Structure 1
Amino acid sequence: MLIQNDHVDLDTPTGTMRTYVYRPSAEGRYPAIIFYSEIFQQTAPIARSAAIMAGHGFVVLVPEVAHELNPIGTVLGYDDAGKEKGNNDKFAKPLKDHDSDTGAMVAFLEKQQYYSGAVGSMGVCLGGHLAFRAALNPAIKAACCLYATDLHSNTLPAPDEDQTLARAGEIQGELLMIWGRQDPHVPDQPRAEINRALRDAGCTFSWLEVNGQHAFMRDEGDRYDPELALQCYQMAVSLFRKALR
């Protein structure tokens, strides 16, 4: 499927949010996926991931996840400086501001003639957490969360009662949770704690642990595993085709 891409600047309660839009070129109405990036914002690997999903018949929105803290268009490098800046941004932005970002994107979609009316969320690393967080919004019908960080640690800025995992029982859509067993950011015990929390909350979810490192989806660097990435894209497409169509 041929695709096109553009961007829009959305008004949010915390400022203008540059959001990149990937969608099929053919006329029609398509379900949407909000794709949340890592701390580095829309890097080339994130853009390619969004294009892959759009090419399977989805409108894909990629927001700048720390738009309040950076000039529009900022892309951080996969280096120590980029990692330091991205992590500082992650711990500076309250979770409630990610909630309003999600609301702004849902409202934008609802005004587009190419939107079918069904939306899900997907993300990697911090974005995996944000995809999970987005599913607290009842508009989100499914979420694919890849090696989601900070779910178990309750370290992102929010009161205890507003920590994401503590609110898992509010999620109405289906979750697909994918983890790398060699990921030092979410090792065995925290993964077990997250799994138990989802069961206790009564969530509808699928769970996959693969032999992969953190960021095994990122097609730059020595942690990239192309076969695992392809498997996970196929699972995500299957989830969204079922839940959004």
Structure 2
Amino acid sequence: MELTRPDGSMPEDFHLSRRAVTGMFFAGYALAAVSADAAPITTSSEGLTIEEVTIANAGPGGLPAYVARPSGAGRHPAILVVNEVFGIHDYIKDICRRLAKLGYVAVAPDFFYRSGVNLPAQTDMQAIMATVRQASEAQVDGDVQAATRWIVSRPFARPGKVGITGFCWGGNVVWRAAMIDPNVGAGVAWYGQLKQLIARAGELKAPVLGLYAGKDQGIPLADVEAMRAALKAAGKTNAEIVVYPDAGHGFHADYRASYDATAAADGWSRLIAFFKAHGIA
């Protein structure tokens, strides 16, 4: 590491904010969750353009984001990718590359950048959750809208609505985005918390596919059924919830012990079909 000042470095020189430094997204999988036995999917960047960008938002310095998109000229449909509590690490980046290989512009913002904490490098879950709680719903929802506005303004993005998908913490963000963001055309939520959203089912404006686990210890099936009932009562026929009875929370996360290859593959197929059915293709 080189000194950043003639008289030596100061602590703030090594603050982990991405505001002024590129290439700062964590290289590797979230240390608090990665399994020693995992064999995660790795998607090549060949034929893709990979960028780290800063998106204008209401926060300090702008919103850092990882972008994967098909190389070359042309406009492509776009999907916003929302991370779990571990921030932007190799799993989330690979999700972006998988989508880019399918012809999408995939954008994964770092919603926790304000904290200056390198979340994927943390191993203490209590400390991780303390950082996550600093990001209020209003702040995150504002960042989502800043990101979708940025996407639709890009010359490589197809005009029109964008899709959004998210995992765990990000799954909850997907449901909210489909309620409040006019640029969102469809969402796919992977095991996102529902309890606080059930009463808001009538606010849903964009179609959402919810993918849930029958053996999730953190999201009771009672909440899933209550959300289904609330959506039906509100006449939200464009929303759908699928439950994988034998899977647990985090079943799509191929770097974790919770990974369920069968449920993950089926959910991914449903994601592709759902976006296509709702014009994100």
Which runs of structure 2 are paired with 1:30-109 in the superposition (5 Å)?
A: 30-71=76-117, 74-77=118-121, 79=123, 81=124, 83-109=125-151
| Aligned: 1:12 with 2:57 | yes
Which structure 2 segments of 5+ residues have no match? Answer: 1-45
Identity %: 23
TM-score (norm 1): 0.87
Aligned length: 230
The equivalent of 2:175 in structure 1 is 132
Task: Give the SS at the match of 1:167.
Answer: helix
The equivalent of 2:223 in structure 1 is 190
**Which of residues 228, 251, 256 in structure 2 aligns to 1:221?**
256
Q: 1:128 to 1:192 in 2, by over 3 A?
A: same
Q: 1:92 offset after TM fit, Å?
A: 2.5
For 1:82-119, what per-residue CA distance to the aligned partner results, in whole angstroms no more than 9, with x for missing partners?
A: x2233213323221111110121122112211111230
The equivalent of 1:148 in structure 2 is 192
Q: In structure 1, how many angstroms separate the alpha carbons of the residues matched to 2:239 and 2:199? A: 16
Task: Give the SS at the match of 2:120.
Answer: coil
**Which of residues 74, 85, 89 in structure 2 aligns to 1:28?**
74
**RMSD (CA atoms):** 1.8
The equivalent of 1:209 in structure 2 is 243
Q: Which has the larger radius of gyration?
A: 2
**One-letter code aligned to 1:63:** P
Q: In structure 1, how many angstroms separate the alpha carbons of the residues matched to 2:198 and 2:139? A: 17
Q: In structure 2, how many angstroms separate the alpha carbons of the residues matched to 1:132 and 1:183? A: 18
Structure with greater strand share of residues: 1
Task: Give the SS at the match of 1:30.
Answer: coil
The equivalent of 1:157 in structure 2 is none
Q: In structure 2, how many angstroms separate the alpha carbons of the residues matched to 1:24 and 1:76? A: 27
For 1:105-144, what per-residue CA distance to the aligned partner results, in whole angstroms no more than 9, with x for missing partners?
A: 1221122111112301100000000111111212111000
Judge conservation of contact 1:42–1:64 (CA < 8 Å) in 2: yes
**Which of residues 272, 277, 281 in structure 2 aligns to 1:237?**
272
Q: Does 55-64 or 200-209 show the bigger shift? A: 200-209
Task: Give the SS at the match of 1:135.
Answer: helix
Judge conservation of contact 1:123–1:146 (CA < 8 Å) in 2: yes
**Which of residues 129, 143, 157 in structure 2 aligns to 1:115?**
157
Q: In structure 2, how many angstroms separate the alpha carbons of the residues matched to 1:94 and 1:166? A: 19
Structure with greater helix share of residues: 1
Q: 1:181 offset after TM fit, Å?
A: 0.6
| Aligned: 1:168 with 2:201 | yes
Q: Does 186-195 or 208-217 show the bigger shift? A: 186-195
Which structure 1 segments of 5+ residues have no match? Answer: 155-163
Q: 1:78 offset after TM fit, Å?
A: 7.2
TM-score (norm 2): 0.77
